[in-house]
Structure 1
């Protein structure tokens, strides 16, 4: 069942174990989670018990000390169940690595063991109601008072916003800094901190079981010991870690495309019109040939990109290309596959309908695809 050149027998066993676990503990309940607009914390705890939360964390903090290639497997298998499990990858491969890379020893001891058991479920709070891609212009402030920072502001579209209880919050510790990005810092804020409240769970077009919420900070007193890394260096930390986040998004979109191709192939072989399977019509064959080609190109590109990332190479340009192209391609594929399902494709009981509404946001979050093109052009010397 190996998917990539670099996979070993250990990878194959890990994938098989995870897939069996998800078929038992997630697949039968996923529709219910979608209706409830929430993945239960009890499922997170089961993931932790099985070693599927933050397996990359060092053994001294309770982790398995595995590399990112195992995170790739977790991301793919979660996406196969449904996009509503995106929050697991965000926790494992996006938020927790900030603590691992930039946290003090005391911070690692305080938070990492709980991130592995789901006692801590993390989120990253960057986006604000008036600030998305223009990160340097965030308005949430954190002003030092003695041994605390006093935080004021609002964050929105926060993945794991309802279930989460530990948030990496992007703040302005120096609102007057020039250039503006030099005033940005990162604070870990725990649920229960006075002045921190959660707003409503947001009602999204798709990804219904993935909890997304607003966060509010009103004279929220956060211990200065919760500062991640150095004051004023937050923007640099974000730019460094956003590459892995964008790789995770591209990976999910690729998995979704493969899933859509598989389910549509099954459908056109069994569905008949005019006395024969619709897969025998040339239009259907051409459409699926085109989709299969795009899927194969995406997979090959991703494989080389994952290998480069594992080797520690600079993948900024290529990861921006992958995030933009693979998510756009997935959106095109969702539309084509829905059309090939005919009227059934518009019915919620068919998985293609869910894919169709889950996929568009991938071209918006983790940096819009327009921002990806800006980065690519800049790195081409334009």
Structure 2
């Protein structure tokens, strides 16, 4: 936030400041600093890097923030959750924030729908920073259309036999387990019949088909195309009811929409700060380029839009705190598409006002621009978010008392001024 954030309480503003300080002084140091950031971008990271990172985040109580203390969590709020994600994007990179984001929304799903086995075997290790998490939703022929997943699981006694493929799976090569949906009943495209499973990474039958880590941005997660061939999953690793996972996934996505947008905004805020410093000190014709209106108006626009995006995001997180994860579909969708589109726009504009130097690795702007591009489709594309928004917006904006008979006959009456009036007479 560039201006005063009246959407946050003083305690929440302090939480954000304290989290940034913790990250900068205790997490992104001693092997996980700037050299590590470079290694991630060059896809030269290691399992040990990610294991150490999640350990430090667990010690700092930054994993699964909204999981209650009774289940080993920090007992925080969803507002604190998004603030922490903002801080990670700001102080680290968005791939760091992505790993912790997985602990937030997967952690909530495990807490709300998992049994004691799921809580003890998987949720607590997430909260303690003992495991690297991987979420395997996307498939070669299914992404946005989640009900069309082709991965299947058939029950055989006290096990499920899993078969299928997953693609573009972050942390596939480093995850200690995979959190994934599979069809257990129903037909292709049905929302009913989808189940969620926790699959240990060392289970027989899991194969990395293709290393997909060389993305346009968002590097360092060991992303991959995976195949599951007759993978035996214990019945105890089913999360919630068999065939009933669709509402769980929708609830999870409600939170993921906010975390993805928030950490991309945090990264873009850092880019804006770097660009502002640069333009204050770079001179053209004996004047700092920040004196030129073409530059300073860009900064003004970015600062204003950034504040708006943060406030949209905080509002949506507060709705989740007040009404639960199934609430705020429109508010979360608004926050995601506006926030993620803006984050990419800001990073690109920062390159524009800095010029050629910003396209080099002398500054982090170039990496930020590549990284935040993925946010526009991660967890739901901007276009899908707009479709969700219009659906709920129409319900709020339209009135049953609007008389459709006036449409095309506006000279007879102003329909929105006197909606209850009798309709105009037919010409014939």
Counterpart in 1 of 2:33? 27
Whether the 8 Å CA contact 2:79–2:314 is kept in 1: the answer is no
Q: 5+ unaligned residues in a row in structure 2: which ranges?
A: 396-428
SS of equivalent to 2:155 = strand
User: Residue 91 of structure 1 is aligned with which of 102, 127, 143?
Assistant: 102
Write the deviation string for residues 79-127 of structure 1: whole angstroms up to 9, x where unpaired: 0121221333333212121110100122212222211233332222111
Question: In proportion to residue count, which structure has more helix?
Answer: 1
**Within-5 A mapping of 1:236-251:** 236-251=247-262
Larger Rg: 2
CA deviation after TM superposition for structure 1 residue 7, in Å: 4.4
User: Residue 6 of structure 1 is aligned with which of 9, 12, 31?
Assistant: 9
Sort the Cα spacing of 1:353 and 1:128 in 2 relative to 1 into closer, same or farther, 3 A: same
CA distance in 2, matches of 1:363, 1:141: 29
CA deviation after TM superposition for structure 1 residue 175, in Å: 4.7
CA deviation after TM superposition for structure 1 residue 341, in Å: 1.1
CA distance in 1, matches of 2:23, 2:317: 20
SS of equivalent to 2:138 = coil
Sort the Cα spacing of 1:367 and 1:14 in 2 relative to 1 into closer, same or farther, 3 A: closer
CA deviation after TM superposition for structure 1 residue 205, in Å: 0.7
CA distance in 2, matches of 1:359, 1:23: 20
Counterpart in 2 of 1:357? 370
CA distance in 1, matches of 2:341, 2:182: 31
Normalising by structure 2, we get a TM-score of 0.83
Whether the 8 Å CA contact 2:162–2:233 is kept in 1: the answer is yes
CA distance in 1, matches of 2:390, 2:60: 43
CA distance in 1, matches of 2:44, 2:81: 25
Counterpart in 2 of 1:347? 360
Instruction: State the superposition RMSD in angstroms.
Output: 2.2
SS of equivalent to 1:143 = strand
Q: 5+ unaligned residues in a row in structure 1: which ranges?
A: none
Whether the 8 Å CA contact 1:72–1:248 is kept in 2: the answer is yes
SS of equivalent to 2:191 = helix
**Within-5 A mapping of 1:244-259:** 244-259=255-270
Sort the Cα spacing of 1:334 and 1:50 in 2 relative to 1 into closer, same or farther, 3 A: closer
CA distance in 1, matches of 2:215, 2:236: 35
CA distance in 2, matches of 1:162, 1:369: 28
CA distance in 1, matches of 2:39, 2:136: 27
Counterpart in 2 of 1:378? 391
Whether the 8 Å CA contact 1:57–1:64 is kept in 2: the answer is yes
Write the deviation string for residues 179-208 of structure 1: whole angstroms up to 9, x where unpaired: 611121111111111212334431111021
**Within-5 A mapping of 1:154-303:** 154-176=165-187, 180-202=190-212, 203-303=214-314
User: Residue 63 of structure 2 is aligned with which of 25, 28, 53?
Assistant: 53
Sort the Cα spacing of 1:303 and 1:61 in 2 relative to 1 into closer, same or farther, 3 A: closer
CA deviation after TM superposition for structure 1 residue 209, in Å: 2.1
Whether the 8 Å CA contact 2:133–2:171 is kept in 1: the answer is yes
SS of equivalent to 1:24 = coil
Normalising by structure 1, we get a TM-score of 0.92
Sort the Cα spacing of 1:285 and 1:334 in 2 relative to 1 into closer, same or farther, 3 A: same
User: Residue 366 of structure 1 is aligned with which of 379, 384, 388?
Assistant: 379
CA distance in 2, matches of 1:350, 1:16: 21
Whether the 8 Å CA contact 1:156–1:214 is kept in 2: the answer is yes
SS of equivalent to 1:110 = helix
